[in-house]
Amino acid sequence: MGRFRDALAAPGLGAIAEVKRRSPSAGDLRPDADPAELAAGFAEAGSAAVSILVDERFGGSVGDLRAARPASSAPLLAKGFFQQERQLDELKQAGADAVLLLLRDLDERRAAAMLSRANELGLDALVEAHDVDELARAVGLGAEVIGVNARDLDTFRVDRGAALELVASAPRDRVVVAESGIAARAHGAAAELAGADAILIGSALMCAPDPLAKLRELLARPLVKICGLTREQDVAVAAEAGADLGGFILARETPRRAPAVLPVPETMLSVAVYVGERGNAPSDLAQLYAREDGHRARDGVLLRGDEQVARVVDRAWQQEDPEHLERARSAIGRIVLAGGLTPENVGEAIEAVQPWAVDASSSLEREPGIKDHDRVRAFVAAVR
């Protein structure tokens, strides 16, 4: 395994931050981008690796790779349209740790030859697929790092939903990178829960007033879930405040029961919350509790499709639960911390548990099912 693969295979969701001056679809993004300055800054801001566009169609060159190499110790991915082994030799000499190989542009013989030469040079390869057939080709070629691009490079259309299904179908013994269309924490979270080890972020960083701050924002954890939403205006306030997940309770025993899973903006994921039996309301995720003594059980699970992707550590139903934080602290895997969280105590809870997400509902209300907008904003601000 090379440095690039190792960095992306580390626990948690990694990021490849990209230096890209322009895009064929969007035009100029950041024409004056300094690859050395950005490569150093991205690594300090939490990026596992840095991608450098070396193709002139993106305003880049191999010189950008040479400039970035001494500025950063992060693994560098050379990104372009490579079809000849001699190009890999030049990229290695310029300081690349990894290269992009686009299966769209390579037949089986060329792809195998390029992978072989990359291995000889000690370069990792990010082998990119954008449909089922290309994913199967990447797996068949033995690619250790597979990129799933949500953008069709012919039409430039982004289809995150289709890309997530490709990510979910990739073998779990490969490192999988979700590429394109990552502009909000929810996009990264959706890719992570589908099985991605890392996300590649380009245009969203280059278009931001402060690329490093934008990278930190996209990687920030815990995520924020506002639950018990029953009205569209409350969804809008939660989204405007910066919440990442919106919860809609569909259980019968609560005054916070939603009429349905309401629409959420693309910066949020919707979560249908069930007790006892899971329903089939359309949503990005489902949160399921067992039913005990006519009410929900103490803890639940977060599901993507039929797969459990996180554990929800909650408090006992309408009871004091002095072991709540201790149980969450000792739990393994992704933890959604719920139960009794408020703008006033969530910071302390995060410090104690370090959860993947925090979930608040009744503490943010002015009456059951009706959110207090100031407290919603205060809760999100306290998490951030």
Phi, psi at residue 248, to the nearest 5°? Answer: -125, 110
Note the pLDDT of residue 1: 64
What is the distance between the alpha carbons of residues 46 and 62, in angstroms, rounded to a whole number?
Answer: 24
245 shares a domain with 108? no
For the question of residue 371 being annotated catalytic, the response is: no
Catalytic residue among 23, 51, 72, 79: 79
The domain boundary, picked from 219, 234, 253, lies at 219
309 shares a domain with 186? no
The domain boundary, picked from 219, 248, 268, lies at 219
**pLDDT per residue over 42-64, tens digit each?**
999 999 999 999 998 888 899 99
Catalytic residue among 180, 203, 270, 361: 180
For the question of residue 217 being annotated catalytic, the response is: no
pLDDT-derived band at 152 (thresholds 50, 70, 90) equals confident
Coil vs helix vs strand at 134: helix
What is the distance between the alpha carbons of residues 1 and 185, in angstroms, rounded to a whole number?
Answer: 29
**pLDDT per residue over 197-248, tens digit each?**
999 999 999 999 999 999 999 999 999 999 999 999 999 999 999 999 999 9
127 shares a domain with 153? yes
pLDDT higher than threshold 90 for residue 128? yes
Let me know: does 287 contact 271? Beta carbons within 8 Å.
yes
Note the pLDDT of residue 28: 86
171 shares a domain with 53? yes
Let me know: does 42 contact 17? Beta carbons within 8 Å.
yes
Q: Which helix (H) or strand (E) holds 274?
A: strand 269-275
For the question of residue 18 being annotated catalytic, the response is: yes
Let me know: does 24 contact 156? Beta carbons within 8 Å.
yes
Q: What is the 3-state secondary structure (H, E, C) of 319-374?
A: CCCCCHHHHHHHCCCCEEEECCCCCCCHHHHHHHHCCCEEEECHHHEEECCEECHH
pLDDT higher than threshold 90 for residue 295? no
Q: Do strands 307-313 and 335-338 pair parallel, antiparallel, or not at all (unpaired)?
A: parallel
**pLDDT per residue over 300-323, tens digit each?**
999 999 999 999 999 877 778 888
**What residues make up the domain containing 121?**
3-219
What is the distance between the alpha carbons of residues 53 and 46, in angstroms, rounded to a whole number?
Answer: 20
How many domains does the structure of the chain reveal?
2
Please give the single-letter amino acid code of residue 202: G
194 shares a domain with 275? no
Q: What is the CATH number of the domain that holds 205?
A: 3.20.20.70
Q: Which helix (H) or strand (E) holds 225?
A: strand 223-226
Phi, psi at residue 300, to the nearest 5°? Answer: -140, -170
For the question of residue 128 being annotated catalytic, the response is: yes
194 shares a domain with 277? no
For the question of residue 214 being annotated catalytic, the response is: no
195 shares a domain with 54? yes
Catalytic residue among 23, 47, 72, 179: 179
112 shares a domain with 67? yes
227 shares a domain with 215? no
Coil vs helix vs strand at 128: strand
159 shares a domain with 43? yes
Cα 17 to chain centroid distance, Å, stands at 13
19 shares a domain with 125? yes
Contacts 24+ apart (CB under 8 A), 333-340: 334/302, 334/309, 334/310, 335/310, 335/311, 336/225, 336/287, 336/302, 336/310, 336/311, 336/312, 337/222, 337/313, 338/225, 338/227, 338/312, 338/313, 338/314, 339/313, 339/314, 339/315, 340/315
The domain boundary, picked from 186, 219, 252, lies at 219
Catalytic residue among 47, 61, 128, 134: 128
pLDDT higher than threshold 90 for residue 23? no
Q: Which letter does DSSP use for residue 24 in this model?
A: T
Catalytic residue among 149, 270, 283, 361: 149
374 shares a domain with 278? yes
